[in-house]
Amino acid sequence: MAKDISRWFSSIGGVVAVLMPKGLCPICIAASGGMLASFGLGFLLVERNVRWLLGLTLAIGLTGFILSARRHRRWWTLAVGVTAAVTTMLGRLLLSNLVLYSGMVLLIGAMGADLWARRHPWMPLVQIRLRRGA
């Protein structure tokens, strides 16, 4: 059960983090506001709430990247995930759409690389086993 949860942990946090800034797009604010209010999530339209929730979902995604990198031993996916999370949060705090969307694209790439690393585990070409005491 715990293995299944950790398997999708990074993906869930990453997807929610990528979708969160879309609720504040000036073009679709009315549609997003109506949809969020119908689900009882109208508080997401307040800027300071979105900032904290974005940070929380990025932290959940990074926790998933850490667990996944420990399992498949490809630490570069964690490095890309951390870079993407920092870039996304920095773009949100600086109100720079270019930085924000670059971070989101990088976050999607990190999720894809992490899923690829899970499907293609690293295997050593040669395994050397030594007996103890021999």
Residue at 26 is within a domain: yes
Using alpha carbons, list the distances in angstroms from residue 32 to 35, 105, 125. 5, 21, 52
Residue at 53 is within a domain: yes
Residue at 16 is within a domain: yes
Residue at 106 is within a domain: yes
Rounded Cα gap, residues 28 and 30, in angstroms: 6
* Structural domain boundaries, residue 70: 8-119
Residue at 131 is within a domain: no
pTM above 0.75, yes or no: no
Domains in the chain, number: 1
Residue at 134 is within a domain: no
Per residue in 32-91, pLDDT (tens digit) is 666 666 777 666 666 777 778 888 888 888 888 888 888 878 888 889 999 999 999 999
Residue at 115 is within a domain: yes
Residue at 69 is within a domain: yes
